[in-house]
Amino acid sequence: MAAPHPDRDPTRPVYVISVAASIVSVHPRTLRIYEDEGLVCPARTRTNIRLYSENDIRRVLWIRHLTQNLGVNLAGVRILFELEERLGTRVLERLYSEATGSAGADAASEPAAVKRAAR
Amino acid sequence: MAAPHPDRDPTRPVYVISVAASIVSVHPRTLRIYEDEGLVCPARTRTNIRLYSENDIRRVLWIRHLTQNLGVNLAGVRILFELEERLGTRVLERLYSEATGSAGADAASEPAAVKRAAR
DNA sequence: CCTCTCTTGACAACGGCATTGTCAGGGTTC
DNA sequence: GAACCCTGACAATGCCGTTGTCAAGAGAGG
C-alpha cells in the first residue's frame, strides 16, 4: 500500500478540469454534471478551481464504463456507488470481471451493450 | 409469514398477464418488455400462457420502484439484480430502507428521488 | 497588462431509452 | 363464439445523457 513516491499519491489533487476531461475523453461539461449529481467530488484550490486526483479519474472511468458499456444511467450509477459504500467492499469489481469477459470467451465481453446495440 | 395454506405458496404461478398488469398498475406490454430484458421470468402453462407468481409480482414491484422512484433504467436494474444474485444476499433491501426513509437514521433518505424531482 | 483558463448558470440540440398504445394473424379457454 | 393470450412490429410521447455554446466574472502566468 505504501506509495514508493509520495508524489504519486492517488488521492493527490493534480488535474485541472480540462486535463481531466481529456484524460477520460469527455467534455468538461460532463465532468461538472457528474459533480452536480454527486458522483465525483474533486478537490478545490483555495481559489475554487477543481483539481482531480488519480482516484477521481478512476471513478470517472467507472462511470463511463457503467454508462457507455453497460447502459446504466446516472441514477443507476449513484445507486451502485451508494451500495458499494454501504457494503464496504469493492462490489463493482464483480461487475468489471463480468464485463471484461473473464470467463475466457472473448465473445461475451459486453452482454448489455450488445443487446442494446442490437435493438 | 409461513404459508398456512399451500395454496398461498408465493412461488406458485397464478396470475395471467392481464391480472398481473393490473396488480402492479402497468400495461401488459411493459411486463412483456421486462421479460424480454430478462428481468422477470414468469412460468408458462403447457399452452405457453404466462403465469406470474406472488414472487414475480414482487419482483416487478421492485423494478417499478427502482425505475419510477429512483430513476434507474432497465440496464441498471439488471445490474442490481445480477449483483444481488452474485452476492447471495438481499442487497436491495438496503436500498429500500433508504428509499422509504424508514428508521429515520439520517436526513439523506431521499437524495436521488428529490433531486430528480427538483429538476 | 493581456491572454488563457477557470468558475457558475442557462439554453439548445441530438440521439437514445421507457412506457404506453395499437394492429396483425393465430392459438386457448370457457 | 367471445374473450383472452401469444408473438412481432411500428409509432408517439416524454424524459435522460452528452455535447456545445454563450454570458459575466475571477484567477494564473507570461
Q: Is B76 on the interface with A (CB under 8 A)?
A: yes
Q: Is A55's CB less than 7 Å from nucleic acid strand D?
A: no
Chain B window 72-91: residues with CB closer than 7 Å to nucleic chain C are 73-75
Q: How far is CA A102 from CA A105, B4, B57, in A?
A: 7, 45, 33
| pTM of the complete model | 0.80
> Are residues A83 and B83, on separate chains, in Cβ contact within 8 Å?
yes
pLDDT in tens, chain B (119 residues): 554 556 678 899 999 999 999 999 999 999 999 999 999 999 999 999 999 999 999 999 999 999 999 999 999 999 999 988 888 877 777 666 655 544 333 333 333 333 332 22
Place of cell 465532468: A31
Q: How far is CA A21 from CA A34, A47, B4, in A?
A: 12, 20, 60
- The amino acid present at A66, given as its one-letter code, is L
Q: Which residues have a Cβ under 8 Å from the Cβ of A109 and sit 6 or more positions away?
A: A99, A100, A101
How many Å apart are CA B95 and CA B109, to the nearest integer? 10
Contacts with B94 from chain A: Cβ below 8 Å = 83, 86-87
